[in-house]
Amino acid sequence: MYYGAVKDHDIANGAGVRVSLFVSGCRNHCKGCFQPETWSFTYGSEFTTETEDHILELLNPPYIQGLTILGGDPFEPENQKALLPFIARTKQTFPDKDIWMYSGYTYEELTGRNPHCSIPETAEILDLIDVLIDGRFEEDLRDLTLQFRGSSNQRIIDVKKTRTAKEVVIWTEHDAGQGTKT
């Protein structure tokens, strides 16, 4: 897997101060995408153990609320296979920090029988993360007033509550700062 960037103090892609990993590779090719260079699966640098170690070091300060993984699309099958061990390692190292992920695929596509993005690793990743922003960016639904998303069709999903309720539960602002303690 390749990645385009690691941001060490991101406040735009999730609640609180976060470390963000921008992975490479996306087949959705949304019109108006803010990072079309990340569509290529070989854009940027190779994601290595050293990259993981660096991100974990960046997550260490107590004021860092958590990790955000976006891209590209982290739920492309190739990316899921590389990210699952890293996400598990992150949760084990920092159980009280939350993990947010962005995907152009909807929660229903990720949990359904979509053979492209719903692979064995998908359920394991969903069990480990806290928040999913789902849905393709739709340029005609673009709304700059929305928090943490680019278009009004995208949802901010509380994944822990959704997995328990077996129906989509939308994350709310009052959930911020609670990490995995939902």
At 89-143, the pLDDT tens digits run 999 999 999 999 999 999 999 998 776 788 899 999 999 999 999 998 878 888 8
Q: What is the pLDDT of residue 179?
A: 44
Structure tokens at 79: 């990316």
| Residues 6+ positions from 87 with CB-CB distance below 8 Å | 69, 99, 125, 128, 129
Q: Where are the alpha helices (DSSP H) in 24-143?
A: 49-59, 77-93, 107-111, 120-128
| Residues 6+ positions from 134 with CB-CB distance below 8 Å | 102, 103, 104, 105, 106, 107, 110, 154, 155, 157
In this structure, which amino acid lies at residue 125? I
Question: Which residue bears the tokens 């949802």?
Answer: 155
Q: What is the pLDDT of residue 182?
A: 32
Instruction: Please give the Cα distance from 77 to 86 (Å, whole number).
Output: 15
Q: Render pLDDT for 47-93 as a digit per residue (tens, 0 to 9).
A: 999 999 999 999 999 999 999 999 999 999 999 999 999 999 999 99
Q: What is the average pLDDT across 130-159?
A: 89
Residues 67 and 19 sit within 8 Å (Cβ to Cβ): yes
Residues 76 and 26 sit within 8 Å (Cβ to Cβ): yes
Q: What is the pLDDT of residue 112?
A: 87
Q: Residue 43: pLDDT above 90?
A: yes
**Fold observed for domain 2-175:** TIM Barrel (3.20.20)
Stated pTM of the model: 0.91
pLDDT higher for 137 or 41?
A: 41
Name the 3-class secondary structure at 53: helix
Q: Residue 178: pLDDT above 60?
A: no
Q: What is the pLDDT of residue 180?
A: 39
Q: Which of 34-38, 60-64, 113-117, 166-170 has the lowest mean pLDDT?
A: 113-117
Helix-strand-coil split of the chain, %, nearest 5: 30, 25, 45
Q: Residue 181: pLDDT above 80?
A: no
Run of H or E residues at 7: strand 2-10
CB atoms within 10 A of CB 82: 18
Domain range summary for the chain, segments of one domain joined by +? 2-175
